[in-house]
Amino acid sequence: MKRNSFTINLARSAGVIGLIAMAQGTSAETLRLLTWGGYAPQDVIEKFEAETGHTVEVTKSNNEEMIAKLRATGGGGFDLAQPSQDRIAGPQAEFGIYKPIDLSQIDSSLFIPSMLEATKKNTTVGGDVYGVPHVWGTSGLVLDTSKASTVTDYTDLCNDDVAGQVSYRLKRPTLIGFAFSMGLDPFAAYGDEDAYTEIMQKVEAKLKDCKPNVKTYWGGGDELMNLVRSGEVIAAMAWDTGGWKLNDDNADITFVAPDSGALGWIDTFVLPAKGRADQAAYDWINFVMQPEVSAMITASAGNFTASKGADAYASDELKAKYQNSFPPEDVDNIKWYPPVPAGLEAIEGGVLDRVKAAN
Protein backbone atom coordinates (compact mmCIF):
# COMPACT_ATOMS: atom_id res chain seq x y z
CA MET A 1 0.00 0.00 0.00
CA LYS A 2 1.44 3.30 -0.96
CA ARG A 3 -0.33 6.14 0.75
CA ASN A 4 1.51 9.05 -0.71
CA SER A 5 -1.55 10.46 -2.39
CA PHE A 6 -3.14 13.32 -0.58
CA THR A 7 -6.49 12.80 0.91
CA ILE A 8 -7.81 16.04 -0.49
CA ASN A 9 -7.07 15.09 -4.06
CA LEU A 10 -9.16 12.10 -3.41
CA ALA A 11 -11.93 14.17 -1.95
CA ARG A 12 -11.92 16.25 -5.07
CA SER A 13 -11.91 13.37 -7.43
CA ALA A 14 -14.87 11.93 -5.54
CA GLY A 15 -16.93 14.64 -7.15
CA VAL A 16 -15.78 13.56 -10.56
CA ILE A 17 -17.02 10.01 -10.25
CA GLY A 18 -20.24 10.74 -12.03
CA LEU A 19 -18.46 12.31 -14.96
CA ILE A 20 -16.05 9.45 -15.25
CA ALA A 21 -18.94 7.06 -15.33
CA MET A 22 -20.59 8.99 -18.14
CA ALA A 23 -17.51 9.59 -20.18
CA GLN A 24 -16.38 6.03 -20.39
CA GLY A 25 -17.52 2.57 -20.97
CA THR A 26 -18.77 1.93 -24.48
CA SER A 27 -15.63 -0.02 -25.33
CA ALA A 28 -15.04 -3.20 -23.38
CA GLU A 29 -11.44 -2.77 -24.43
CA THR A 30 -10.87 0.03 -21.92
CA LEU A 31 -9.82 -1.09 -18.46
CA ARG A 32 -10.64 1.51 -15.81
CA LEU A 33 -8.30 0.65 -12.98
CA LEU A 34 -8.76 2.01 -9.46
CA THR A 35 -5.49 1.42 -7.68
CA TRP A 36 -2.64 2.72 -5.53
CA GLY A 37 0.16 4.94 -6.73
CA GLY A 38 2.97 2.80 -8.14
CA TYR A 39 0.87 -0.29 -8.76
CA ALA A 40 0.39 0.40 -12.44
CA PRO A 41 3.64 1.96 -13.71
CA GLN A 42 3.66 3.37 -17.22
CA ASP A 43 6.03 0.77 -18.62
CA VAL A 44 3.75 -2.03 -17.48
CA ILE A 45 0.71 -0.33 -18.96
CA GLU A 46 2.46 0.16 -22.29
CA LYS A 47 3.53 -3.45 -22.40
CA PHE A 48 0.02 -4.62 -21.54
CA GLU A 49 -1.62 -2.42 -24.14
CA ALA A 50 0.82 -3.59 -26.80
CA GLU A 51 0.24 -7.22 -25.94
CA THR A 52 -3.53 -7.30 -25.51
CA GLY A 53 -4.89 -4.33 -27.43
CA HIS A 54 -6.79 -3.10 -24.37
CA THR A 55 -6.28 0.41 -23.12
CA VAL A 56 -5.80 1.19 -19.44
CA GLU A 57 -6.99 4.24 -17.53
CA VAL A 58 -5.57 4.53 -14.05
CA THR A 59 -7.11 6.33 -11.08
CA LYS A 60 -4.89 6.49 -8.01
CA SER A 61 -6.54 6.22 -4.63
CA ASN A 62 -6.45 4.56 -1.20
CA ASN A 63 -8.58 2.05 0.67
CA GLU A 64 -11.19 4.38 2.07
CA GLU A 65 -11.49 6.36 -1.14
CA MET A 66 -11.84 3.27 -3.27
CA ILE A 67 -14.70 2.03 -1.17
CA ALA A 68 -16.31 5.46 -0.98
CA LYS A 69 -16.11 5.88 -4.74
CA LEU A 70 -17.54 2.48 -5.47
CA ARG A 71 -20.25 3.01 -2.89
CA ALA A 72 -21.25 6.31 -4.45
CA THR A 73 -21.88 4.63 -7.79
CA GLY A 74 -23.06 1.29 -6.45
CA GLY A 75 -19.91 -0.36 -7.79
CA GLY A 76 -19.75 1.43 -11.13
CA GLY A 77 -17.22 3.61 -12.87
CA PHE A 78 -14.33 1.18 -12.64
CA ASP A 79 -13.59 -2.29 -13.98
CA LEU A 80 -10.92 -3.35 -11.51
CA ALA A 81 -10.06 -2.13 -8.01
CA GLN A 82 -7.33 -2.95 -5.51
CA PRO A 83 -8.47 -2.54 -1.89
CA SER A 84 -6.71 -4.40 0.90
CA GLN A 85 -7.95 -7.89 1.57
CA ASP A 86 -9.34 -7.01 5.00
CA ARG A 87 -11.58 -4.32 3.50
CA ILE A 88 -13.51 -6.50 1.08
CA ALA A 89 -15.87 -8.73 3.02
CA GLY A 90 -17.29 -5.97 5.26
CA PRO A 91 -18.11 -3.40 2.58
CA GLN A 92 -19.38 -6.18 0.30
CA ALA A 93 -21.84 -7.33 2.95
CA GLU A 94 -22.89 -3.77 3.67
CA PHE A 95 -22.96 -2.13 0.27
CA GLY A 96 -22.69 -4.92 -2.36
CA ILE A 97 -20.13 -3.05 -4.43
CA TYR A 98 -18.13 -6.00 -5.80
CA LYS A 99 -18.89 -9.01 -7.94
CA PRO A 100 -17.51 -12.52 -7.47
CA ILE A 101 -14.33 -13.46 -9.25
CA ASP A 102 -14.51 -16.24 -11.81
CA LEU A 103 -11.47 -18.17 -10.66
CA SER A 104 -11.40 -20.16 -13.85
CA GLN A 105 -10.38 -16.98 -15.66
CA ILE A 106 -7.31 -16.62 -13.49
CA ASP A 107 -4.06 -18.45 -13.90
CA SER A 108 -3.60 -19.56 -10.30
CA SER A 109 -0.16 -21.00 -11.07
CA LEU A 110 1.18 -17.46 -11.16
CA PHE A 111 0.37 -16.90 -7.45
CA ILE A 112 2.19 -17.90 -4.33
CA PRO A 113 -0.28 -20.60 -3.25
CA SER A 114 -0.40 -19.81 0.47
CA MET A 115 -1.12 -16.15 -0.18
CA LEU A 116 -3.76 -16.93 -2.78
CA GLU A 117 -5.53 -19.30 -0.44
CA ALA A 118 -5.39 -16.89 2.49
CA THR A 119 -6.82 -14.07 0.41
CA LYS A 120 -9.56 -16.23 -1.05
CA LYS A 121 -10.55 -17.28 2.43
CA ASN A 122 -10.60 -13.71 3.77
CA THR A 123 -12.61 -12.34 0.87
CA THR A 124 -15.28 -14.97 0.71
CA VAL A 125 -18.80 -13.70 1.26
CA GLY A 126 -21.74 -16.07 0.92
CA GLY A 127 -19.61 -18.77 -0.69
CA ASP A 128 -18.27 -16.51 -3.45
CA VAL A 129 -14.66 -15.40 -3.68
CA TYR A 130 -14.25 -11.68 -4.26
CA GLY A 131 -10.52 -11.05 -4.20
CA VAL A 132 -7.13 -12.40 -5.30
CA PRO A 133 -3.84 -11.06 -3.89
CA HIS A 134 -1.49 -8.68 -5.64
CA VAL A 135 0.95 -6.61 -3.59
CA TRP A 136 1.81 -7.14 0.03
CA GLY A 137 3.83 -5.38 2.64
CA THR A 138 3.95 -4.44 6.27
CA SER A 139 3.70 -1.44 8.48
CA GLY A 140 5.87 -0.96 11.53
CA LEU A 141 8.38 1.58 12.71
CA VAL A 142 10.53 3.93 10.69
CA LEU A 143 13.38 5.02 12.94
CA ASP A 144 16.47 7.12 12.92
CA THR A 145 18.43 4.38 14.67
CA SER A 146 21.19 6.76 15.73
CA LYS A 147 18.78 8.86 17.79
CA ALA A 148 15.85 6.64 18.65
CA SER A 149 17.61 3.51 19.74
CA THR A 150 15.21 2.94 22.65
CA VAL A 151 12.25 2.48 20.34
CA THR A 152 11.59 -1.18 19.64
CA ASP A 153 7.83 -1.26 19.74
CA TYR A 154 4.87 1.02 19.05
CA THR A 155 4.39 1.93 22.70
CA ASP A 156 8.02 3.05 22.88
CA LEU A 157 6.96 6.01 20.75
CA CYS A 158 5.62 7.38 24.02
CA ASN A 159 9.07 7.30 25.66
CA ASP A 160 10.39 10.57 27.06
CA ASP A 161 13.63 10.50 25.10
CA VAL A 162 11.79 10.85 21.80
CA ALA A 163 9.24 13.38 23.07
CA GLY A 164 8.15 15.85 20.41
CA GLN A 165 9.92 13.94 17.66
CA VAL A 166 7.33 11.27 17.05
CA SER A 167 4.70 11.00 14.37
CA TYR A 168 2.02 8.49 13.46
CA ARG A 169 -1.28 8.50 11.67
CA LEU A 170 -4.59 8.85 13.39
CA LYS A 171 -6.01 5.86 11.53
CA ARG A 172 -6.97 2.29 12.34
CA PRO A 173 -3.52 0.67 11.80
CA THR A 174 -2.26 2.80 14.66
CA LEU A 175 -5.01 1.50 16.94
CA ILE A 176 -4.27 -2.11 15.97
CA GLY A 177 -0.51 -1.67 16.31
CA PHE A 178 -0.75 -0.09 19.75
CA ALA A 179 -3.16 -2.80 20.88
CA PHE A 180 -0.70 -5.54 19.96
CA SER A 181 2.17 -3.71 21.50
CA MET A 182 0.16 -3.36 24.72
CA GLY A 183 -0.15 -7.12 24.79
CA LEU A 184 -3.75 -7.20 23.57
CA ASP A 185 -5.09 -9.08 20.56
CA PRO A 186 -7.58 -6.94 18.65
CA PHE A 187 -7.87 -9.42 15.79
CA ALA A 188 -9.16 -12.06 18.16
CA ALA A 189 -11.82 -9.61 19.33
CA TYR A 190 -13.00 -8.73 15.80
CA GLY A 191 -16.09 -10.83 16.15
CA ASP A 192 -17.00 -9.53 19.60
CA GLU A 193 -17.98 -5.87 19.62
CA ASP A 194 -17.88 -5.55 23.41
CA ALA A 195 -14.44 -7.09 23.73
CA TYR A 196 -13.23 -4.98 20.86
CA THR A 197 -14.64 -1.84 22.45
CA GLU A 198 -12.81 -2.67 25.65
CA ILE A 199 -9.51 -3.07 23.83
CA MET A 200 -10.08 0.15 21.99
CA GLN A 201 -10.76 2.00 25.22
CA LYS A 202 -7.39 0.91 26.56
CA VAL A 203 -5.71 1.98 23.35
CA GLU A 204 -7.53 5.29 23.53
CA ALA A 205 -6.20 5.98 27.00
CA LYS A 206 -2.68 5.10 25.87
CA LEU A 207 -2.89 7.32 22.81
CA LYS A 208 -4.20 10.22 24.87
CA ASP A 209 -1.28 9.82 27.28
CA CYS A 210 1.08 9.65 24.37
CA LYS A 211 -0.29 12.71 22.62
CA PRO A 212 2.18 15.26 24.09
CA ASN A 213 4.97 13.18 22.54
CA VAL A 214 3.55 13.54 19.06
CA LYS A 215 4.82 16.32 16.82
CA THR A 216 1.96 15.93 14.42
CA TYR A 217 -0.32 13.21 13.12
CA TRP A 218 0.85 12.69 9.58
CA GLY A 219 -1.68 12.43 6.79
CA GLY A 220 0.13 11.63 3.58
CA GLY A 221 3.24 9.62 2.76
CA ASP A 222 5.07 12.64 1.38
CA GLU A 223 4.42 14.56 4.56
CA LEU A 224 5.95 11.82 6.68
CA MET A 225 8.95 11.51 4.37
CA ASN A 226 9.60 15.23 4.75
CA LEU A 227 9.27 15.08 8.50
CA VAL A 228 11.77 12.24 8.84
CA ARG A 229 14.14 13.45 6.15
CA SER A 230 14.41 16.90 7.77
CA GLY A 231 15.16 15.31 11.14
CA GLU A 232 12.11 16.85 12.78
CA VAL A 233 10.79 13.37 13.43
CA ILE A 234 13.08 10.53 14.49
CA ALA A 235 10.54 7.80 15.18
CA ALA A 236 7.33 7.13 13.30
CA MET A 237 4.83 4.47 12.56
CA ALA A 238 4.87 3.87 8.81
CA TRP A 239 5.17 1.43 5.93
CA ASP A 240 8.23 -0.62 5.19
CA THR A 241 8.75 0.96 1.76
CA GLY A 242 8.85 4.45 3.26
CA GLY A 243 11.65 3.38 5.59
CA TRP A 244 13.58 1.75 2.82
CA LYS A 245 13.27 4.77 0.60
CA LEU A 246 14.56 7.04 3.39
CA ASN A 247 17.39 4.58 3.93
CA ASP A 248 18.71 5.51 0.48
CA ASP A 249 19.28 9.09 1.66
CA ASN A 250 20.35 8.43 5.21
CA ALA A 251 21.79 5.09 6.26
CA ASP A 252 20.70 5.63 9.88
CA ILE A 253 17.02 5.66 8.93
CA THR A 254 15.34 2.40 8.22
CA PHE A 255 12.27 0.30 8.69
CA VAL A 256 12.18 -1.81 11.86
CA ALA A 257 9.69 -4.54 12.61
CA PRO A 258 8.38 -3.85 16.12
CA ASP A 259 8.72 -6.45 18.88
CA SER A 260 5.00 -7.14 18.87
CA GLY A 261 5.13 -7.81 15.19
CA ALA A 262 4.76 -5.83 12.00
CA LEU A 263 1.23 -5.53 10.63
CA GLY A 264 0.90 -7.31 7.32
CA TRP A 265 -1.42 -6.25 4.58
CA ILE A 266 -2.25 -7.58 1.16
CA ASP A 267 -3.71 -5.46 -1.56
CA THR A 268 -5.95 -7.42 -3.89
CA PHE A 269 -7.74 -7.41 -7.17
CA VAL A 270 -11.52 -7.11 -7.00
CA LEU A 271 -14.15 -6.61 -9.67
CA PRO A 272 -16.54 -3.69 -8.97
CA ALA A 273 -20.19 -4.77 -9.19
CA LYS A 274 -20.91 -2.68 -12.28
CA GLY A 275 -17.59 -3.13 -14.04
CA ARG A 276 -18.01 -3.51 -17.80
CA ALA A 277 -14.65 -4.82 -18.93
CA ASP A 278 -14.27 -8.06 -17.00
CA GLN A 279 -12.25 -9.70 -19.73
CA ALA A 280 -9.75 -6.86 -19.76
CA ALA A 281 -9.64 -7.06 -15.96
CA TYR A 282 -8.81 -10.78 -15.99
CA ASP A 283 -6.26 -10.17 -18.73
CA TRP A 284 -4.64 -7.48 -16.58
CA ILE A 285 -4.47 -9.75 -13.52
CA ASN A 286 -2.92 -12.58 -15.47
CA PHE A 287 -0.54 -10.19 -17.15
CA VAL A 288 0.81 -8.39 -14.10
CA MET A 289 1.19 -11.57 -12.08
CA GLN A 290 3.86 -12.83 -14.48
CA PRO A 291 7.13 -12.84 -12.53
CA GLU A 292 8.98 -10.39 -14.75
CA VAL A 293 6.06 -7.94 -14.81
CA SER A 294 5.63 -8.28 -11.07
CA ALA A 295 9.27 -7.36 -10.66
CA MET A 296 8.60 -4.13 -12.58
CA ILE A 297 5.79 -3.32 -10.19
CA THR A 298 7.97 -4.13 -7.21
CA ALA A 299 10.56 -1.74 -8.55
CA SER A 300 7.94 0.97 -8.87
CA ALA A 301 5.92 0.42 -5.69
CA GLY A 302 8.77 -0.80 -3.49
CA ASN A 303 6.76 -3.75 -2.20
CA PHE A 304 6.83 -7.40 -3.11
CA THR A 305 3.98 -9.11 -4.90
CA ALA A 306 2.15 -12.40 -4.57
CA SER A 307 3.61 -13.50 -7.88
CA LYS A 308 5.43 -16.82 -7.70
CA GLY A 309 9.04 -16.54 -8.76
CA ALA A 310 9.13 -12.76 -9.01
CA ASP A 311 11.81 -12.69 -6.31
CA ALA A 312 14.29 -13.85 -8.89
CA TYR A 313 13.75 -10.61 -10.79
CA ALA A 314 13.73 -8.24 -7.80
CA SER A 315 16.77 -6.05 -7.22
CA ASP A 316 19.37 -7.31 -4.78
CA GLU A 317 19.32 -3.99 -3.04
CA LEU A 318 15.65 -4.26 -2.13
CA LYS A 319 16.08 -7.85 -1.07
CA ALA A 320 18.93 -6.84 1.20
CA LYS A 321 16.83 -4.13 2.81
CA TYR A 322 13.99 -6.56 3.29
CA GLN A 323 16.21 -9.15 4.92
CA ASN A 324 17.75 -6.48 7.12
CA SER A 325 14.36 -5.34 8.38
CA PHE A 326 12.90 -8.82 8.61
CA PRO A 327 15.06 -11.45 10.24
CA PRO A 328 13.32 -14.84 9.78
CA GLU A 329 11.67 -14.78 13.23
CA ASP A 330 10.14 -11.38 12.45
CA VAL A 331 8.59 -12.69 9.25
CA ASP A 332 6.80 -15.34 11.26
CA ASN A 333 5.66 -12.66 13.70
CA ILE A 334 3.88 -10.53 11.05
CA LYS A 335 0.26 -9.96 12.05
CA TRP A 336 -1.86 -10.28 8.92
CA TYR A 337 -5.03 -8.24 8.96
CA PRO A 338 -8.14 -10.41 9.08
CA PRO A 339 -11.27 -9.12 7.33
CA VAL A 340 -12.81 -6.16 9.16
CA PRO A 341 -16.40 -6.91 10.13
CA ALA A 342 -18.86 -4.19 9.16
CA GLY A 343 -19.47 -1.75 12.00
CA LEU A 344 -16.02 -1.82 13.62
CA GLU A 345 -15.17 1.45 11.89
CA ALA A 346 -17.75 3.21 14.05
CA ILE A 347 -16.03 2.08 17.27
CA GLU A 348 -12.60 2.99 15.95
CA GLY A 349 -13.89 6.30 14.61
CA GLY A 350 -15.11 7.35 18.02
CA VAL A 351 -11.72 6.50 19.53
CA LEU A 352 -9.85 8.42 16.87
CA ASP A 353 -12.12 11.46 17.29
CA ARG A 354 -11.64 11.50 21.03
CA VAL A 355 -7.87 11.15 20.75
CA LYS A 356 -7.76 14.02 18.31
CA ALA A 357 -9.90 16.15 20.62
CA ALA A 358 -7.95 15.31 23.77
CA ASN A 359 -5.66 17.86 25.28
- If binding means CB under 8 A, how many residues of this protein chain bind other proteins? 39
Angle between helices 344-357 and 172-181 (to 10 degrees): 90
Task: Figure out which of the listed residues 215, 291, 311, 313 binds other proteins, where binding follows CB under 8 A.
Answer: 215
One-letter amino acid for residue 146 of the chain: S
Q: How far is CA 186 from CA 173, 175, 197, 199, 337, in A?
A: 11, 9, 10, 7, 10
Site string (154-173) toward other proteins, x via CB under 8 A: -----------------x--
The piece of 186-194, 223-231, 253-261, 291-299 that touches other proteins (CB under 8 A) is: 223-231
| Contact between 14 and other proteins per CB under 8 A | yes
Q: How far is the CB of 172 from other proteins (least distance, A)?
A: 9
Among residues 22, 50, 312, 357, which is the contact residue for other proteins, using CB under 8 A?
Answer: 357
Asked if 147 is part of the footprint of other proteins (rule: CB under 8 A), the reply reads no
Q: Mark 73-112 with x for binding to other proteins (rule: CB under 8 A) and - for no binding.
A: ------------------x-xxxx----------------
Of 154-162, 182-190, 296-304, 341-349, which part binds other proteins (CB under 8 A)?
341-349
H-type helices in the chain, by residue range? 7-14, 17-23, 42-52, 63-72, 89-95, 113-122, 172-181, 193-210, 221-229, 240-249, 278-288, 291-301, 316-325, 328-333, 344-357
Contact between 231 and other proteins by CB under 8 A: the answer reads: yes
* Range 224-230, long-range pairs (CB < 8 A, 24+ positions): 224/142, 224/167, 225/4, 227/167, 228/142, 228/144, 228/167, 228/253
Single-letter amino acid code for the residue at 197: T
The rounded distance, in Å, linking the Cα atoms of 172 and 169 is 8
Angle at 219 between CA 216 and CA 224, to 5 degrees: 70
Q: By C-alpha distance, which of 280, 232, 235 is closest to 254? A: 235
Contact map string, positions 295 to 334, toward other proteins, x by CB under 8 A: ----------------------------------------
- Three-state DSSP state, 331: helix
Which residues are registered as beta bridge partners of 272? 98
Q: Is 252 in the site for other proteins (CB under 8 A)?
A: no
Q: What's the min distance (Å) between Cβ of 94 and other proteins?
A: 6
Question: 14 or 118: whose CB is closer to other proteins?
Answer: 14
- Comparing CB distances to other proteins, the nearer of 56 and 176 is 176
Contact set with other proteins (CB under 8 A): 6-11, 14, 64-65, 67-68, 71, 91, 93-96, 171, 211, 214-217, 219, 223, 226, 230-232, 342, 345-346, 349, 352-354, 356-357, 359
